[in-house]
Structure 1
Amino acid sequence: MNTSDRLYAVRGAVCCENTVESIGSRVSELYSLLLAQNSVSECDIVSVQFTMTADLDALNPATALRKAGMASSVPLFAAAEPFIRGGMPRVVRILLTYYGSRAGSPVYLHGAEKLRPDLIGASAGV
């Protein structure tokens, strides 16, 4: 951490199928893109918090990162997203807290762009 850095948080989300493969690959993709797009190094991350909708129960997103060899020394936490009638299904959300020199740009992937249409220009959605 640079002494001029301050604490920031950046959000993201990704839609997944309820399989180990889909959750594993898409959570890893989201995390990697958040770091790359925002020039964040893992050594600058304070913690990562995930939420996931109840229809995703094949794999914990924190476990997905660990299995992919990522975030080995980063504190990870996962929780259930509250059920909201009419809410988007099969979504993993992420809140990445880090020290840096600038605020981050959010990333929404694989259909999750619909969650924040106001940020689509800032997102590298796929």
Structure 2
Amino acid sequence: MEGAWRVRGVRGATTVHENSRAAVREAVVELVRALMAHNQLVPEDMVMVMFTCTPDLDSCFPSQMVREELSWEHVPFLDLAHLGVQGSLKRCIRVIIQVNTPKLQAQMQPVYLRGARGLRPDLLGTTGGTLC
């Protein structure tokens, strides 16, 4: 039911050109800011944020970059390793943000940036998600 506050999830992903703190910081902050803008998210409504990185990214924790850059001191984060499936996208960072919102799940807009644009084209056509 629209209007009732519920926990919803919104997905996003991006890629980096190299395994460095600077590259991860730039990509993760860009992704999180895009998700916030497209979904009108504020940290106070966030339940938790989970990042996954492909095995070839080990220079830093994505959550640390968000805490430092956006000062999200009270948002719970979890950084996880993504499965290293043969032939899958390399240097990829994925995120799911769980948020309290009056929006319906179908109204949540995923954001896929850079080399991750092709990960979920099925979602982008139905939810108004964003490819950048």
Corresponding residue for residue 129 of structure 2: 123
Please state if 1:28 is matched with 2:29. Answer: yes
Structure 2 gaps of 5+ residues are none
**Equivalence for 2:49:** 48
Q: Percent identity?
A: 34
- Do the aligned partners of 1:113 and 1:120 also contact (CA within 8 Å) in 2? no
Query: Higher mean Cα deviation, 100-109 or 67-76?
Result: 67-76
Q: How does 1:1-126 map to 2 (within 5 A)?
A: 4-16=4-16, 17-102=18-103, 103=105, 104-121=108-125, 122-126=128-132
Q: CA RMSD in A?
A: 1.4
Count of equivalent residues: 124
| Structure 2 residue identity aligned to 1:107 | V
Q: Take 2:62 and 2:27, find their aligned partners in 1: how far apart are those partners?
A: 9
Contact 2:20 2:59 (C-alpha < 8 Å) held by counterparts: yes
Which aligned runs of 4 or more in structure 1 are off by greater than 4 angstroms? none
Q: Secondary structure at the match of 2:64?
A: helix
Any conservation in 1 of the 2:6–2:100 contact (CA below 8 Å)? Answer: yes
TM-score by length of 1: 0.91
